Amino acid sequence: MREDNLTQVNPRQRAWLEVNLSALESNTRSLIKSLERGSSLMAVVKADGYGHGALTVSRAAIKGGATSLGVATSQEGIELRESGLNVPILVLGSIIDPNELEACLKWNLMPTLSGFKEAFLCQKLALKSGVNFKVHLKVDTGMSRLGCELNQALNLVEFIRKQSSIELVGIYSHLASADGDFKGESAAITKLQKTRFDNILKQLPQLSTCFCRHIANSAGTLRDKSLHYDMVRVGLAIYGYNPIEDAAKNLDLKPALSVKTRVTLIRNVPSGVGVSYGHKFITSRPTKLAVLGIGYADGVSRALSGKISVLANGKFIPQIGSITMDQLILDATDSPDLEVGNVVTLLGVDGDASITPHEWANLSGSIPWEVLCGFRHRLPRLIV
């Protein structure tokens, strides 16, 4: 009996992501070249590598010279360990559950400590297991999110260093506004955060060489070398996007992600026809509509409805009407050659033209980080 394998469809059939490995690797390499001497690069691969695939990104970034990885949760770290990665991994999120801390110890993941309670727990767990617990201490210098209070930092460092089974390997903070307008308030906030961080470090002269000091995200890294310290934690720039327009223009960052789909139906309608839910778009001329098999459930935000264009054969084609869960519609009247089955690029490069997550973010009141993290549901991810 003949058995047809109909359980797997062509991943390039409906809609898909293409992740460019060499872009990830070369972005990492270029960033490392731009670092202040002595500073290393941690690749931030949380949220499944900003939607690119955490393992794929980690491997490419390590090949490009990254020496450690940053994740948000212990589960993300465990998955990377299970896949065989053995570089240092820092869990950037907060962990308060003893079982989760125990898992960190077991899988050799470094937790971020913000207070005495976690430090005490780490000591207890490490003593019980007979394995030293490597940890990073976070100090809040102005983000008002994780991290201990400034006035607690020295006591906490002292406390941690007195624990026989905890190894304090890093001290860090996080910048709140390095990607903002750097002539005004944003510059002042970053400067203040740096001053506060330096003040803490200065009060630990005999200790400060023992652990890794870090504060810069992509924007901090690209903006100011004095923020590089011993390490930088880079996410967005590894994926090929510069979060600030007026800095590091000579750095050749290549977008690593493309979002593609196909035309699934073409229909010609007269003038005066309502298109998609709520008829937010009414045709004002005989119109060639092209339906694409991708929607907001795939990561194309509904807030972009009627605002974006896509690329086919190097030409922009406007999207019209409401973006629906699984599909969206183009006005392809001015693209007479567009046919069912043609590949369309939503994000990425086609010929000389390109569309970036920054453009989508600006149109939908979002940020490129959120746009990228949105592609995680049912889109096959193909490595190119």
Ligand X SMILES: Cc1ncc(COP(=O)(O)O)c(C=O)c1O
Question: Which range in 116-124, 232-240, 247-255, 320-328 contacts ligand X by CB under 6 A?
Answer: 232-240
* CB nearer to ligand X: pick between 180 and 318: 180
Q: Tell the smallest beta-carbon distance from residue 70 to ligand X (Å).
A: 6
Residue 259: what residue type?
V
Q: Work out whether 218 is an interface residue with ligand X (CB under 6 A).
A: yes
Q: What is the per-residue burial (b if ≥16 Cβ within 10 Å, else e) of 167-199?
A: bbbbbbbbbbbbbbebeeebbebbeebbebbee
Question: Which range in 115-123, 211-219, 334-342, 359-367 contacts ligand X by CB under 6 A?
Answer: 211-219
Binding-site member from 213, 233, 262, 288 for ligand X (CB under 6 A): 233
Q: Work out whether 92 is an interface residue with ligand X (CB under 6 A).
A: yes
Binding-site member from 17, 35, 44, 212 for ligand X (CB under 6 A): 44
Task: Tell which residue, 341, 327, 318, has the closest CA to residue 291.
Answer: 327
Question: Which range in 23-31, 118-126, 217-225, 359-367 contacts ligand X by CB under 6 A?
Answer: 217-225
Our measurement of the distance from residue 23's CA atom to the centroid of its chain's CA atoms, rounded to an integer in Å, reads: 15
* CB nearer to ligand X: pick between 253 and 328: 253
Write out the binding residues for ligand X, residues 150-179 only, by CB under 6 A: 174
Q: Tell the smallest beta-carbon distance from residue 35 to ligand X (Å).
A: 14
Distance CA 14, CA 317 (A): 18
Q: Work out whether 348 is an interface residue with ligand X (CB under 6 A).
A: no
Whether 46 is catalytic: yes
Q: Work out whether 236 is an interface residue with ligand X (CB under 6 A).
A: yes
φ, ψ for residue 127, nearest 5 deg = -60, -45
Whether 277 is catalytic: yes
From 33, 46, 63, 124, the catalytic residue: 46
Per DSSP, the residues of 87-117 read S-EEEEEE---HHHHHHHHHTTEEEEE-SHH
From 239, 277, 307, 315, the catalytic residue: 277
Between helices 98-106 and 74-82, what is the axis angle to 10°? 30
Task: Tell which residue, 117, 121, 157, has the closest CA to residue 137.
Answer: 157
Q: How many CB atoms lie within 10 A of CB 205?
A: 8
Distance CA 141, CA 197 (A): 6
Which residues of this protein are in contact with ligand X, per CB under 6 A?
A: 44, 92, 174, 217-219, 233-236, 243, 369
Catalytic machinery residues:
46, 277
